[in-house]
């Protein structure tokens, strides 16, 4: 699994709990303090050190360095304005059958919102919907989780 937006590790712990026992979480965040808190949360929860690979940096800079087809799931919960890059990189990173997940997409549902983040979220939702390589699904959880399986 690759995650963009480690935060304090709440989503990372859920992802780790849902993964195979030997599954590895690669989690990216620009903020070293957030990653330090997440690292502690993982260790307090008994996660073996080798199962969580925390990479500090911007998603747009780190994702291109990761291996093609090497991941089962990508979870995006970081810079909304960069979601277009997360989408393009995510399709490359997933193996067939893998899943892309974008958090907070309904935050941009109002077309009157024209800020960079809202526009990027709407653009990603449209691209995912129209992408023949993906089967999308919008889950009404929180601010909306856009999920798409790669076929
Ligand atoms: C909403 S929080 C993530 C919460 C986390 N996924 C969870 O549920 O526990 C967003 C995180 O994205 C990080 N972030 C912001 N811009 C980023 C960027 N350009 N690249 C990577 N991480 C970024 C922030 O430092 C913050 O920790």
Q: pLDDT tens-digit profile of 8-49?
A: 999 999 999 999 999 999 999 999 999 999 999 999 999 999
Predicted local distance difference test score (pLDDT) of residue 63: 98
Please tell me whether the overall predicted TM-score, pTM, comes out greater than 0.90 for this model: yes
ipTM surpasses cut 0.90: yes
Q: How far, in Å, are 8, 16, 55, 100, 122 from residue 143 at the CA level?
A: 19, 22, 26, 16, 13
Q: How far is the CA of 78 from the centre of ligand 1 (A)?
A: 4
| Structural domain span for residue 76 | 2-150
To the nearest 10 degrees (0 to 180), the angle between helices 83-93 and 116-130 is 30
Report the CATH number at residue 35: 3.40.50.150
Quick check: CB of 92 below 6 Å from ligand 1? no
Quick check: CB of 4 below 6 Å from ligand 1? yes
Distance CA(64)–CA(89), nearest Å, equals 7
* pLDDT of 77 higher than 90: yes
When divided into structural domains, the chain yields a total of 1
Q: How far is the CA of 34 from the centre of ligand 1 (A)?
A: 8
Quick check: CB of 104 below 6 Å from ligand 1? no
Quick check: CB of 7 below 6 Å from ligand 1? yes
Q: How many helices (H) and strands (E) does the chain have?
A: 5, 7
Q: Which residues pair with 101 in a beta bridge?
A: 75, 147
Quick check: CB of 91 below 6 Å from ligand 1? no
* Local confidence band at 126 (pLDDT 50, 70, 90 cut-offs): very high
């Amino acid at each position: 699994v690759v995650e963009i937006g480690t935060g304090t590790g709440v989503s990372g712990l859920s992802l780790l709990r849902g993964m195979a026992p030997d599954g590895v979480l690669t989690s990216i965040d620009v903020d070293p303090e957030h990653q330090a808190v997440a690292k502690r949360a993982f260790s307090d929860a008994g996660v073996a050190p080798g199962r969580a690979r925390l990479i500090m940096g911007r998603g747009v800079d780190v994702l291109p360095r990761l291996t093609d087809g090497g991941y089962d799931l990508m979870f995006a919960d970081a810079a909304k304005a960069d979601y277009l890059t997360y989408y393009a990189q995510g399709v490359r990173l997933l193996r067939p059958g893998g899943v892309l997940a974008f958090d907070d997409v309904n935050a941009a549902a109002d077309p009157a919102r024209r800020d960079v983040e809202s526009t990027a979220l709407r653009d990603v939702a449209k691209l995912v919907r129209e992408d023949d390589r993906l089967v999308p699904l919008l889950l009404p959880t929180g601010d909306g989780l856009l999920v798409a399986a790669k076929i």
